[in-house]
């Protein structure tokens, strides 16, 4: 690809031009996100309805960020970055999108820099960086505000490897500690970074060539060198397992998850080279096809054996394949996190390995330099150009929730979550009967999801169809007795029907399950005040105000039901 530059241009100028081109290409594809809105899938729990984030940077917020496992993860740096955005942009979604975009650009440039530093191959490194920057599978990580943890951890991942490349050339304590600190920053952004020490060992083999003439002893020494990295990985792995507390997620049998894992492993590779019909949510297969799982397992093992047998001759194939395999392994679903069968965002870091295989593997098929320039240069340009166009189109689906879920229904089958989330949007727009029709479709596909019954119950309640609302909320509590919101919602329906004892019992249970949610105290305050029990009503109204919802207390004070 040097043919694209003047023959006398210095390497530094080439690198600078490539960096400018990479940044410009990313902006051309993703700059549209600055006009996008929040979407009603996790953005509310991460930003729009998260009081700690909405309050911006504060001592209380910093403490909360480091102590909470809210959303099933311990990622304090992710929370702090969102709080900083809130401080700067308030509730303007474009600002949060812009931060994601900038982090993606920085990660791309770091990837290019670290590969140049380690391999001295400018143009191959540029291809890998472009592949990472522009691939449609990475749209989800960049365009989804709630996936701040992806792009932030990706930045620290690349920074760790960049500093590690400098340490490997000239080891010293300062460089080692810098590398370790960046690694810890990545772990505090997303626990998926736990696999990074293994990737560092792969890079020790190639391109850093640190194994030497005594492989056995050298591997042992290199592993010991990274002992602190492995220790932190182990600690964060345990924290991640302990943080899992999603009461609304359906639990899939281990044998189903084990069967889905190799299939997902191969499907990610299929979508790498045929990135169409991408969606925000892929439902977990309700019926596993055994032959697909066996075939995927055989293909995966065969590929691993092939790259191991040829690793001395083609070390980049070995490193690239196991970069992909090792990094994607924790998110294949053996340990269930969420309700999806797979997710585009899980490929954000793993696909770098596939990019390495392409960048160094394809040129080896063309021994003559002239042939490589005639065939591979235009092929690479066309390939990255096609990826850019598909990514630009895919990115457009993220402009708002309605567009996103309509596309998800077109791209997938039996997508109950897309029907449910479309129902939420229609409810917010006031089209309650159409929302109920979408909830009905979701329940036809998945009749044991607590969230769908809870959402349909709220729509029924708003229409005044109280008996149907009670049935849905009762079904939700039966499916998941630990889900607070169904109790809180059923309590309000009982209150509207004048069944105050039942209402108080349900709201008591909602508060017991979730004692830090202001609305439950506000609802119970309304019931007590309606019964003229001002003492308990005012106490609940004050509790709600402390937690961020002062409306009931202010109204009660206007009526002089509560003292100022």
Contact 326, 195 (CB under 8 A): yes
Where would I find the H helices in 194-226?
A: 196-205, 215-225
Q: H or E segment at 410? A: helix 401-411
Q: How far apart are CA 222 and CA 199, in angstroms?
A: 12
Determine what percent of the chain is predicted with pLDDT higher than 90: 80
Do the domain assignments include residue 497?
Answer: no
Identify the top-confidence range among 9-13, 18-22, 332-336, 527-531.
18-22
In a domain, 84, yes or no: yes
pLDDT for position 249:
53
For the cut 90, the answer to whether the pLDDT of residue 278 exceeds it is yes
Residue 465 φ/ψ, nearest 5 degrees: -90, 75
d(CA 50, CA 70): 10
Q: What is the mean pLDDT of residues 308-314?
A: 95
Q: What is the reported pLDDT for 120?
A: 94
| Residue 14 placed within a domain | yes
Give the lowest-confidence range in 247-251, 429-433, 508-512.
Answer: 247-251
In a domain, 178, yes or no: yes
User: Tell me: the pLDDT tens digits for 19-51?
Assistant: 999 999 999 999 999 999 999 888 999 999 898
Q: What is the DSSP letter of 44?
A: I
φ/ψ (deg, to 5) at 334: -60, -40
Report d(CA 353, CA 355) in Å as an integer. Answer: 5
- CA distance linking residue 31 with residue 507, whole number of Å: 45
Asked whether the beta carbons of 355 and 221 are under 8 A apart, the reply is no
For the segment 161-209, what is each residue's pLDDT rounded down to a tens digit? 999 999 999 999 999 999 999 999 999 999 999 999 999 999 999 999 9
**Which of 312, 342, 376 is the last residue in one of the domains?**
376
pLDDT of residue 218: 84
Q: What is the DSSP letter of 464?
A: T
CA nearest neighbour of 455 among 291, 280, 248 = 248
Give the model's pLDDT for residue 365. 85
Sheet strands (E) in 261-397: 282-283, 340-342
Each residue of 513-529: b (16+ CB within 10 Å) or e? bbeebbbbbbbbbbbbb
Is pLDDT at 410 greater than 80 in this prediction?
yes
How would residue 425 be classed by pLDDT, with cut points 50, 70 and 90? very high
CB neighbour list of residue 64: distance below 8 Å, 6 or more residues apart: 52, 79
1, pLDDT greater than 60? no
Max CA pair span of the chain: 90
The structure tokens listed for 222 are 């290199």
What pLDDT does 339 receive? 77
Helix or strand run (H / E) with residue 293: helix 290-309
Residue 386 within any structural domain of the chain: no
Unique residue bearing structure tokens 């993860």: 73
Give the span between the Cα atoms of 329 and 326, in whole angstroms: 5
pTM: 0.91
Handedness of CA 355, 405, 343, 240 (dihedral sign): positive
Q: Is the pLDDT of residue 216 over 80?
A: no
Cis peptide before 207 (omega within 30 of 0): yes
Predicted confidence at residue 302, as pLDDT, reads 97
Rounded percentage of the chain residues whose pLDDT exceeds 70: 96
* Average pLDDT for the chain: 92
Residue of 305 and 3 predicted with greater confidence: 305
For 99-124, letters b (16+ CB in 10 Å) and e give: bbbebbbbbbbbbbbbbbbbbebbbb
Average pLDDT value for residue range 63-84: 92
What tokens were used for 15? Answer: 């690198």
SS3 471: helix
Q: How far apart are CA 183 and CA 194, in angstroms?
A: 9
**Domain end call among 329, 350, 376:** 376
Residue 256 domain-assigned (yes or no): yes
Tell me whether residue 464 is in a domain: no
Q: What is the pLDDT of residue 17?
A: 95
Is 445 domain-assigned? no
- Domain hosting residue 540, numbered range: 521-564
Q: What is the mean pLDDT of residues 85-104?
A: 97
Handedness of CA 511, 516, 519, 521 (dihedral sign): positive
The region of weakest confidence among 179-193, 272-286, 316-330 is 272-286
Per-residue tokens: 344: 């585009």
Q: How many domains does the chain have?
A: 2
Beta-carbon contacts of 485 under 8 Å, excluding residues fewer than 6 positions away, are 454, 510, 514
For residue 214, the model assigns a pLDDT of 63
Q: Which of 344, 361, 376 is the last residue of a domain?
A: 376
Please list, in sequence order, all residues whose beta carbon lies within 8 angstroms of the beta carbon of residue 501, skipping any fewer than 6 positions away.
none
> What is the distance between the terminal CA atoms of the chain, rounded to a whole angstrom?
75
CB 186 within 8 A of CB 160: yes
* Residue 429 φ/ψ, nearest 5 degrees: -85, -5
In the prediction, which pLDDT does 2 show? 54
- How much is the pLDDT for 554? 85
| Separation between Cα atoms, residue 183 and residue 161, nearest integer Å | 9
Tell me the C-alpha distance between 185 and 174, whole Å. Answer: 17
Bridge partners of 283? 340
Task: Dump the DSSP string for 183-201.
Answer: HHHHHTT-GGGGGHHHHHH
């Amino acid at each position: 690809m040097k043919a694209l530059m003047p023959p006398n241009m210095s390497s530094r100028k080439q690198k600078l031009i490539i960096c400018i081109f990479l940044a410009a290409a990313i902006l051309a594809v993703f700059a549209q996100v600055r006009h996008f809105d929040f979407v009603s899938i996790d953005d509310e729990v991460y930003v729009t309805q998260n009081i700690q984030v909405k309050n911006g940077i504060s001592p209380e917020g910093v403490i909360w960020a480091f102590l909470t496992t809210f959303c099933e993860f311990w990622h304090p740096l992710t929370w702090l970055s969102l709080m900083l955005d809130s401080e700067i942009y308030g509730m303007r979604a474009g600002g949060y999108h812009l931060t994601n975009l900038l982090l993606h650009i920085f990660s791309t440039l770091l990837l290019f820099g670290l590969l140049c530093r380690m391999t001295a191959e400018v143009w191959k490194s540029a291809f890998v960086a472009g592949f990472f920057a522009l691939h449609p599978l990475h749209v989800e990580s960049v365009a989804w505000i709630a996936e701040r943890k992806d792009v932030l951890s990706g930045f620290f991942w690349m920074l760790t490897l960049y500093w590690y490349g400098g340490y490997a050339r000239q080891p010293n304590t300062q460089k080692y500690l810098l590398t370790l600190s960046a690694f810890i920053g990545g772990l505090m952004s997303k626990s998926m970074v736990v696999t990074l020490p293994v990737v560092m060992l792969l890079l020790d083999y190639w391109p850093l060539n640190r194994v030497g003439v005594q492989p056995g002893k050298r591997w042992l020494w290199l592993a010991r060198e990274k002992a602190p990295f492995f220790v932190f990985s182990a600690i964060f792995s345990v924290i991640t397992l302990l943080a899992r507390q999603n009461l609304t997620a359906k639990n899939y049998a281990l044998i189903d998850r084990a069967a889905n894992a190799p299939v997902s492993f191969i499907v990610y590779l299929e979508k790498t080279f045929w990135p169409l019909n991408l969606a925000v949510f892929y439902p977990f297969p309700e019926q596993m096809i055994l032959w697909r799982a066996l075939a995927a397992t055989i293909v995966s093992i065969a590929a691993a054996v092939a790259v191991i047998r040829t690793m001395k001759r083609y070390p980049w194939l070995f490193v690239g394949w196991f970069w992909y395999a090792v990094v994607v392994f924790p998110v294949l679903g053996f340990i269930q996190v969420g309700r999806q069968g797979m997710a585009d965002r899980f490929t954000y870091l793993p696909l770098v390995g596939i990019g390495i295989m392409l960048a160094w593997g394809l040129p080896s098929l063309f021994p003559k330099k002239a042939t490589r320039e005639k065939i591979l240069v235009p092929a690479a340009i066309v390939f990255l150009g096609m990826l850019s166009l598909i990514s630009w189109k895919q990115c457009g689906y993220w402009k708002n929730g309605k567009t996103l879920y309509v596309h998800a229904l077109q791209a997938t089958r039996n997508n109950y979550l897309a029907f449910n989330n479309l129902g939420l949007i229609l409810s917010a727009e006031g089209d309650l009967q159409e929302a109920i029709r979408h909830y009905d479709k979701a329940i036809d596909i998945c009749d044991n999801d607590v969230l769908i019954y809870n959402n349909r119950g709220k729509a029924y309640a708003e229409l005044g169809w109280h008996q149907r609302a009670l049935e849905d909320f009762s079904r939700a509590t039966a499916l998941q007795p630990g889900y607070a919101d169904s109790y809180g919602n059923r309590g309000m329906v009982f209150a509207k029907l004048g069944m105050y004892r039942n209402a108080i019992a349900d709201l008591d249970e909602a508060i017991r399950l979730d004692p830090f949610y202001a609305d439950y105290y506000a609802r119970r305050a309304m019931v007590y005040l309606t019964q003229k029990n001002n003492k308990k009503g005012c106490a609940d109204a004050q509790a709600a105000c402390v937690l961020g919802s002062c409306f009931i207390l202010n109204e009660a004070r206007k009526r002089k039901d509560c003292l100022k």
